Amino acid sequence: MQILVTGAAGFIGSNFVHYWVERHPDDHVVALDLLTYAGNRANLDDVEQGIDFVEGDIGDLELGRRLLEQYDVDVVVNFAAESHNSLAVVDPRRFFHTNVIGTQTLLEAARDVGGLKRFHHVSTCEVYGDLPLDSDEMFGEESPYRPRTPYNASKAGADHAVRAYHETFGIPISITNCSNNYGPYQFPEKVIPLFVTNALDDQPLPMYASTENKREWLHVRDHCRAIELVLESDRVGETYNVGSGVEASIEEIADLVLELTDKPESLKTIVPDRPGHDRRYLLDSSKLRSELGWEPEIAWEEGLRETVGWYAARRDWWEPLKELAPVEETAWQR
């Protein structure tokens, strides 16, 4: 099979490329990435011999057509997106341009070339909005879209474009909406690698004032396995939520990171909340579990311990990156 992976040098995209090359050595992977600050070519060094890497933009219609034709692509997996909530407050246009127009342009290339067996779009739980902290509510695939931030809205717009191209033009699509991922190769602006790398350097762990806000946490490899199952199924036009069911607050994450790195609680530091800071996300993943037999395999504390170990062993990877972008707690203020 010929598979085009966009956003392939980013966090989840690069983990997916590693996973696919390992699990499907007879397939040919074309890895496309624009290499903006969060796209790191070094993320793919270990699979260099098993892929074709192309630097480029999903918003380039001619490039999309050329790659689909040149490689006779069977499957597109679209990870390409701007994904920094705080930067989306600063520069919303950039997020709508990449996440909505870029996705639509890639869909148009697929429509022009024809013959695609699947266009899989990777989305987020954040398109549904947020949930009260004191409730048992979850988001299902039929939950209404209620995005509250520019990033959320741009991802929601992309989801709608993908569905529209399926309903109007017959593009064979699938969508996964995932909970917050963690694991190796995550850019150190995000909360878990930020906390881990700061703790390793005895630097403050900046926590938004609403430290009780919760997220559902999914190890990136479990996410990759879910996408694999969706791609291998014959269920076209479906949306699946992908979540572990494990929730942790920002303060709980900070406490666990400090425990795993043997650092003092005095490193915890409160910073002002960003605008539109969502309270809680939790996905109902029963459709994926019942229809495709998926279950998460990596337990939360085990996965976080493994992640801390990865960052502790890979200073060569993350130290140069910490200067490339504003960190999460101050980006929207700049």
Which residue has 């033009």 as its token pair? 169
Q: What is the pLDDT of residues 122-176, one digit of tens each?
A: 999 999 998 877 778 899 999 999 998 999 999 999 999 999 999 999 999 999 9
H helix or E strand, kind and range, residue 153: helix 150-169
pLDDT at 329 over 60: no
The answer to whether 282 and 247 are in contact (CB under 8 A) is yes
The answer to whether 179 and 128 are in contact (CB under 8 A) is no
The reply to whether CATH 3.40.50.720 applies to domain 2-181+217-242 is yes
Q: Which residues, in sequence order, are CB contacts of 42 under 8 Å at separation 6+? A: 317
Delimit the domains of the chain by residue range. Answer: 2-181+217-242
The predicted model gives 252-256 an average pLDDT of 96
Q: Is the model more confident about 207 or about 238?
A: 238
pLDDT category at 211 given cuts 50, 70, 90 is low
H helix or E strand, kind and range, residue 75: strand 75-78
Q: What backbone phi and psi angles, to 5 degrees, belong to 285? A: -100, 20
Q: How many CB atoms lie within 10 A of CB 270?
A: 14
Distance, CA of 259 to CA of 265 (rounded, Å): 9
Share of the chain above pLDDT 90, in %: 80
Q: Which of these, 114, 122, 128, lies nearest to 68 by C-alpha position? A: 114
Give the pLDDT of residue 267.
96
pLDDT at 330 over 60: no
What average pLDDT is seen over the chain?
92
Give the pLDDT of residue 89.
81
Q: Among 30-44, 114-128, 210-224, 296-310, whose mean pLDDT is lowest?
A: 210-224
Give the pLDDT of residue 271.
84
Q: Read off the amino acid at residue 327.
A: V
The angle formed by the CA atoms of residues 298, 7 and 37, to the nearest 5 degrees, is 100
The answer to whether 237 and 174 are in contact (CB under 8 A) is yes
Give the pLDDT of residue 232.
98
